[in-house]
Structure 1
Amino acid sequence: MRQRYLALLSVFTSVPAMALTFQTRLENTEWTVAGDRFECRLAQPITDFGAGEFVRRAGEQAVFRLTAYNAMIGGGSATLLAAAAPWQPGRGDINLGSVHIGSGNVLFNTSQVQAGRLISGLLDGRSPVIRHSSGDGRVSEVRLLPVRFSQAFNEYQGCVAKLLPKNFEQVRQLQIGFPGESLDLDARAKAQLQVMLEYMKADPTVNHIELDGHSDNSGNRLTNRDLSRRRALAVMEFFKANGILESQVTLRFHGERYPLAPNTNAANRAKNRRVAVRLERVAADKAAPQVAPQTNTPGAAPATS
């Protein structure tokens, strides 16, 4: 075991004559895990450079990003590799494509596919390598080591298991449909609203809900306005029954005024029978009134998802 360790140390700490290599010495290599219900991060600090980290946001797959203290490598594109381990002869490096090097502290974010292949490579003993060639022929490499990765990855997976189903961009807007012309929420609508509710409970800064009720044009305008109001009220009652205060909800109703699709067939009319739900961050002294019913006076169309 000691002989293998010394052999690895020799390989990983050597600097090719033609390349400037950034990596942490084998004996100092560590992986750190951090996160909450919104994001999980699995990172390896890189001595005198920055860090490489896998970042997984709620509702998404992981990406890999490289951060730097300074402009260590130039701009342009670089090659991303899952480099073969020196103790596994006969295996070549896997080229995962290119990444574009930016100018800020975050040099790049890979695609989700590239990140997934890097994780698979690390679990198989491969090293993520970023290889950059400058215009004058100089080559720079940044290398992460797979040492102690498996244990850290298990901890990271524990963090991932606790992530919310969706992130704020994914959950902030929603169309609740009433396809059967009813005024009640069906099982699908309740499940969608439950995801919103779970996010609000996890993030207290998301503290306000905008509801805009809509109808098709099947009835007269007064009837349609009332139907859109009652559907918006059904959504508000769901939130109230689950701990949201009325003061956190702004409710409007618009009847048939703002269709999503022309009311020319049954399928389109079903799309128009809806409540648009939008989550907002509102300062306490700027909170909107509980109910703001739409009148027949002209006004701007409501925002929809």
Structure 2
Amino acid sequence: MSKTLLCLLCLGISFSAVAELRHYRAGLDDSQWRFSASPRIECRLEHDIPAYGKAVFVSRAGKELNMAFTLDMWAKPDAATKAVLISNAPRWRPGVPSHEITSLTYHKYFNGEVPKKAAWSMLSELERGMEPTFYYRDWYQASNQVAVGLSAVNFGGKYTDFKACLASLLPYSFDDIAFTVLSYHSGGSELTEFSKTQLARVQEYLTYDPEVELVLVDGYTDSYGGRSVNKRVSEQRAGSVKALLVSGGIPEERILTAGHGETRPIGPDGTPEQRALNRRVVVRISK
């Protein structure tokens, strides 16, 4: 008995039902893969499944190389449904054994998703010419069985582009820079070395992400010195950060600045360390 059949039996699919599988898969003539990207921010690989929907692989900038897979269905599940993902050989490769990649559950009204490790496995199987295929009972008619396969035809070239894109992703994500606190040396407008590095990351990310709509830059000081002087210093600090962002190519109209002086401290100014926390510029980014 084949590994595919064993996996199907584990789902409660009988041998007679297997012979009546309703199979969705692109043929030799209509199998197409599409690669698209937001350079250094996101890489996307898509594959149409005729009369069913599409398969989508996505990886985004981040500290770790991530991979998400979505089976984007035209008709979403009407009930939670168990499924199994099996790597099958195409018809023109007889004798190559099938094997299970993972089992999963389709959730009601949601597209199908697989864990990161399984998504990478799917890409590896496609690269070697195999067909990752989902098997499950039809949630609208339980007597029917469904198989949804990804074709490896025309996959190689677009996957090469996809891998090159993955190699260029930024090593941090939007979440890593969406709320950034910059610190200053005492009594001046010079950022600490660590904050200079943080600001460079913000500047670089903003250069590539077209979805960023607004950057809010708020300046603050400690309580040493006069209130009016501190207000002016906080405005100068916020303005200098804006100038650096603009010099990096960020449109000026997308950046709003404000100086709050000593009015919103994080904590008391009793020690040099506490005062250093209050001398700051906060950069907030929205999409």
TM over 0.5: yes
Alignment partner of 1:157 is 2:163 = yes
AA aligned to 1:83 is S
Matched residue of 1:34: which SS?
Answer: strand
AA aligned to 2:147 is E
Report 1:29-108 matches (<5 A).
29-37=31-39, 38-59=41-62, 61-71=66-76, 74-85=78-89, 87=93, 93-103=99-109, 107-108=111-112
Quick check: 2:88–2:133 contact (8 Å CA) kept in 1? no
Quick check: 2:217–2:258 contact (8 Å CA) kept in 1? yes
Quick check: 1:78–1:130 contact (8 Å CA) kept in 2? no
Quick check: 1:83–1:126 contact (8 Å CA) kept in 2? yes
Comparing 110-119 and 261-270, the one that deviates more: 261-270
CA distances 1:225-261 after superposition (whole Å, capped 9, x unpaired): 4553443233133234445576654322223433445
Match of 2:219 in 1: 213
In 2, Cα distance between equivalents of 1:76 and 1:272: 51
Residue 179 to residue 148, structure 1, CA distance change in 2 (3 Å): farther
* Structure 2: tracts of 5 or more residues without a match: 1-16
CA distances 1:112-153 after superposition (whole Å, capped 9, x unpaired): 333223223323444322222357454322111233433321
Counterpart among 128, 133, 140 of residue 132 in structure 2: 128
In 2, Cα distance between equivalents of 1:143 and 1:110: 14
Counterpart among 147, 151, 159 of residue 145 in structure 1: 151
Answer 1 or 2: higher relative contact order, Cα 8 Å, separation at least 6. Answer: 2
Counterpart among 239, 262, 271 of residue 245 in structure 2: 239
- Given the two structures, how large is their TM-score scaled by the length of structure 1? 0.67
In 1, Cα distance between equivalents of 2:284 and 2:137: 47
Residue 69 of structure 1: CA displacement? 3.0
AA aligned to 1:116 is W
Aligned residues: 263
CA distances 1:8-46 after superposition (whole Å, capped 9, x unpaired): xxxxxxx93253221122454332222333533212211
Residue 79 of structure 1: CA displacement? 2.9
Residue 265 to residue 130, structure 1, CA distance change in 2 (3 Å): farther
Residue 267 to residue 62, structure 1, CA distance change in 2 (3 Å): farther
Residue 231 to residue 171, structure 1, CA distance change in 2 (3 Å): same
In 2, Cα distance between equivalents of 1:203 and 1:127: 34
* Structure 1: tracts of 5 or more residues without a match: 1-14, 282-305
Note the aligned Cα RMSD (angstroms).
3.8
Matched residue of 2:190: which SS?
Answer: coil
Matched residue of 1:48: which SS?
Answer: coil
Alignment partner of 1:117 is 2:121 = yes
